[in-house]
Amino acid sequence: MTDISLDSGVVVQTEETTHFGFQTVAKDKKAEKVADVFHSVAGKYDLMNDLMSGGIHRIWKRFTIDCSGARPGQRMLDLGGGTGDLTAKFSRIVGEKGQVILADINNSMLNVGRDKLRDSGIVGNVHYVQANAEELPFPDDYFDCITISFCLRNVTDKEKALRSMFRVLKPGGRLLVLEFSKPKFKTLSKIYDAYSFHLLPKIGKLVANDSDSYRYLAESIRMHPDQETLKNMMDEVGFENTSYYNLTGGIVALHRGFKF
């Protein structure tokens, strides 16, 4: 099946296509295109995060840790964990009797994360797995907490990924989704759009010599479900007591849901 163009000029997205930024692509091509983006940006990912957010991403991640309920001896999954910011913090919290798995579909990001954490002396309770969020290679009821930060918007089938996360989460466990979302104020939204579509690609070109990848990242944020839609998606796959927190005026949202 392909896109169907109506007389009005509206393009209808069929079940075999999906979004890659503002483009419509075949579902089986999106993962390949996203992989190319993150192979390109992996080496400069941490630097670009600091430049793009003014360092505020560290505050968002700290809040995520605070909401995780992580305790010594627990088993944590940092899904789409990339360069390992959350993994590093979880490793210290769960201690030698706990376990943290840093999983990412992109081996370039995974390698950067592994090297960074090992250089920081974080070894022993951290394991690295290349994995697709839609088909997690872990047993049922395995993790006490799953975090997925700035990753879900890049997943082709978000509902399938949420179901996969629900399956591997223990009863009583929680999922935390930290992701760019929809600003709640018109003025902030206009400023954010101007920054994302004009300044961000220029920063990407200057620092990483790659404006196209950062243009995709900006577009992918706009195509991601808004706060209420994502909450409803989590509810539909079985999560309970689902809620979200708007951070920095809704530029980012942290969604939390429990498995009972």
* 8 Å CB contact between 84 and 147: no
pLDDT-derived band at 5, boundaries 50, 70, 90: very low
Q: Who contacts 32 (Cβ-Cβ below 8 Å, separation ≥6)?
A: none
d(CA 193, CA 199): 10
Rounded to whole angstroms, what are the CA distances from 132 to 21, 70, 129, 189?
19, 24, 10, 32
Radius of gyration of the chain measured on its C-alpha atoms: 18
146 domain residue, yes or no: yes
In a domain, 212, yes or no: no
User: pLDDT-based confidence at 63, cuts 50/70/90?
Assistant: very high
Cβ neighbours, 10 Å, residue 169: 26
Query: Based on the structure, what is the number of domains in the chain?
Result: 1
Q: Rounded to an integer, what distance in angstroms lies between the CA atom of residue 84 and that of residue 90?
A: 10
Is residue 232 one of the residues assigned to a domain?
yes
For Cα atoms 127, 173, 46, give the angle at the middle one, nearest 5 degrees. 45
Pair type for strands 169-180 and 143-149: parallel
Position 66 in a domain? yes
Confidence of residue 111 (pLDDT cuts 50, 70, 90): very high
Q: Flag whether 23 is in a domain.
A: no
| DSSP state at residue 198 | I
Q: Is residue 20 in a domain?
A: no
The terminus-to-terminus CA distance of the chain in angstroms comes to 39
Which residue segment(s) compose the domain that 94 sits in?
Answer: 39-183+217-258
pLDDT (0 to 100) of residue 11: 43
Q: Report pLDDT for 151.
A: 94
Of 6-15, 64-73, 139-148, 155-164, which gets the smallest average pLDDT? 6-15
8 occurs within a structural domain:
no
> Please, what is the average pLDDT of the chain?
91
User: Max alpha carbon distance in the chain (Å)?
Assistant: 63
pLDDT (mean) for 44-48: 85
Q: Among residues 157, 146, 130, 109, which one has the least CA distance to residue 239?
A: 146
> For 185-232, how does the pLDDT look when each residue is reduced to its tens digit (9 = 90+)?
999 999 989 988 888 888 888 888 888 888 888 899 889 999 999 999
Q: State the CATH number of the domain containing residue 223.
A: 3.40.50.150
Confidence of residue 4 (pLDDT cuts 50, 70, 90): very low
Q: By C-alpha distance, which of 228, 211, 164 is closest to 48?
A: 211
CA–CA separation, 96 and 123 (whole Å)? 10
Query: Is-contact 88 120, C-beta < 8 A?
Result: yes
Amino acid 7 reads D
Asked if residue 16 is part of any domain, the answer here is no
